[in-house]
Structure 1
Amino acid sequence: MTVERHTLLSAAYEHLRAAVLDGSLAPGSRVTVRPLTEQLGLSPTPIKAALAALEREGFLIAVPHRGYFVPEVSPNDLLELYELREAVDGIAARRAASATDHAQLAVRLARLLAKQRKAIDAGKLQSYGELDLAFHRLIWEGSGSRRLMPVAENLIAQVRLGNRLSAQAPGRLPVAIEEHQAILEAIRQGDPHAAEGHIRCHVREAGEALRRYLQMRDGEPQPRPS
């Protein structure tokens, strides 16, 4: 792939990914090539490649003979996701705190946490969502597990949607920041038991915040994960 083709692919990919995550492309929307060529001023080739990449990552779904669609995720799907996240993040944090370079990892996490605080103070919810995912991804990477990373990466699209919704729950962000601080301190101290406990609590509370937000938004009680 030439540098130019790679640049065009990246431009199409980043535009479409951002549109899915910020809701510009709503769940259930059909995504077709021709309008995007006009909108982005690109040829069909990089757009088709970007759509295929996003489908592989779970940001889009491919329907035979119909094209690509933004996935619709039900409340039950989202709540189930948090159960999976709790397990995956718990393993990752435990391993990260046990790693020989846990202190260096803590330094990098602290930088992200400082940026998260600034994003909240500025009311930049989308920026906070990006930084929140970066915080968790850094812990996934810090686990040193080759098998854990692909599992975690496969959850990214759903994680992003869930984060965007749970962050809208009143009072959730300041609490989430302090939970991140506790996770950071446990990793800094090299305490795998505390790191796992704090991150499991953090993900569980995020799931509860999501449940409460959906209940408030829809005016109906949402089921708790069994």
Structure 2
Amino acid sequence: MTMQPVPMPEKVIKRTFVDDAYNRLKHAILTNELLPGYQAPEPEVAAWLNMSRTPVREALIQLQSEGLVELIPRRGVRVLPIQAKDMREIYEILSALEPSAAENIARRGLTEEDLAPLEQATSEMEQALDANDLIAWAEADDRFHRALLEINGNERLNKIVSALIDQAHRARMMTLRLRKKPVKSTQDHRKILEYLRNGEAKKAGALFRQHRNRASTELLNILEDFKVPVL
């Protein structure tokens, strides 16, 4: 008996196209391929992706909910600027929630297998720093923070904080070469990892909080020097 291929449901096909559009647009925004202030009609965006308008529209709606773009009636989509006020609020939230997640997993106790993603990300940060590859460093830094959320295991917290990390990462990529070389930041990650490994929850949380607060101060100083949103 010859098995006939089972057709993929139409909803699944549609969702796949939406996910593809979402992932490609989000990557372009977070890496600043589409710069803050970029504006285009939706048909132009769809043509750029070589996709139909419907999945692109749904992807843009999702990106708007994450604070990365703005949909403007009859004018299309605009990639939102990076503003000091927004970043101050984002870092205030990150400085409260991420240290709490670090303390939680330190108290729980972690195996070396649990810590492997954090160890790999930290090692890659150190290697990128030695090679003076700031883009690779920023990508490894981003993986560290996301891995911490995954290990923590709180899906709602993960969803909330991941959207904020996206915006922080975009600002970091935009200002990467305007900051000091991230030696202290890399050292912080190694020390946080040590505290997590040893179950030192309060020390992990305190250093994580200091780490985010210092990053916030550096970024806000740069944005405020511009006196206008980074467009």
Taking structure 1 as the reference length, the TM-score comes to: 0.82
Q: Quick one: which of 165, 170, 179 aligns to 1:161?
A: 170
The structure with the largest alpha-carbon Rg is: 2
Are the counterparts in 2 of residues 94 and 143 from structure 1 also a CA contact under 8 Å? no
Q: Which residue matches 2:99?
A: 90
Where does structure 2 lack aligned partners over 5 or more consecutive residues? 1-8
CA deviations on 1:32-72 (whole Å, 9 max, x unpaired) are: 32113332322223322322222232221233454322112
Are 1:136 and 2:145 matched, yes or no? yes
CA deviations on 1:59-102 (whole Å, 9 max, x unpaired) are: 21233454322112321321232222111111111112112435
Distance 1:126 1:59, change over 3 A: farther
Distance 1:72 1:166, change over 3 A: closer
Could you tell me how far apart the structure 2 residues matched to 1:86 and 1:203 are? 6
Are the counterparts in 1 of residues 106 and 204 from structure 2 also a CA contact under 8 Å? yes
Q: Which residue matches 2:116?
A: 107
Q: Which residue matches 1:202?
A: 211
Q: What is the 5 A alignment of 1:208-223?
A: 208-214=217-223, 218=226
Are the counterparts in 1 of residues 40 and 75 from structure 2 also a CA contact under 8 Å? no
The AA in structure 2 aligned to 1:164 is M
Q: What is the 5 A alignment of 1:19-168?
A: 19-101=28-110, 103-165=112-174, 167-168=176-177
How many residues are paired up? 218
Are the counterparts in 2 of residues 96 and 144 from structure 1 also a CA contact under 8 Å? no
Are the counterparts in 2 of residues 34 and 44 from structure 1 also a CA contact under 8 Å? yes
Q: What value does the CA root-mean-square deviation take over the aligned residues?
A: 2.6
Distance 1:93 1:20, change over 3 A: same
Where does structure 1 lack aligned partners over 5 or more consecutive residues? 221-226
Taking structure 2 as the reference length, the TM-score comes to: 0.80
Identical pairs, percent: 28
The AA in structure 2 aligned to 1:25 is L
Are the counterparts in 1 of residues 30 and 167 from structure 2 also a CA contact under 8 Å? no
Distance 1:10 1:119, change over 3 A: farther
Could you tell me how far apart the structure 2 residues matched to 1:79 and 1:58 are? 14
Are 1:13 and 2:22 matched, yes or no? yes
The AA in structure 2 aligned to 1:132 is D
User: Alignment partner of 1:58: what SS?
Assistant: coil
